[in-house]
Amino acid sequence: MTISTLLFLLGMTMVFIAFIVIGILWAIRSGQFEDMEGPAQRILMDDDDPLLPSNRIEEENKK
């Protein structure tokens, strides 16, 4: 009993590990670890910030 259960569980582990490995290698290859600071900062910035020149012009047009 034990041996076949163990074999099954270890086999499952191997399948999961294969998925994890494929996933992480894809993430690395697609450049997700290139810039570790950027994404954290980007999410905090607003697209309608008046610092952007185009937004400033729209503001002026509204007036």
- Catalog residues that contact other proteins under the rule CB under 8 A: 2-3, 6-7, 10, 13-14, 17, 20-21, 24-25, 28-29, 31, 33-38, 41-42, 44-45, 47, 51-54, 57
Exposure of 55 by Cβ count < 10 A (0-12 exposed, 13-18 middle, 19+ buried)?
A: middle
Are 48 and 55 spatial neighbours (Cβ–Cβ below 8 Å)?
yes
Query: Least CB distance from residue 38 to other proteins, whole Å?
Result: 4
Query: Least CB distance from residue 49 to other proteins, whole Å?
Result: 8
d(CA 57, CA 40): 28
Query: Least CB distance from residue 21 to other proteins, whole Å?
Result: 6
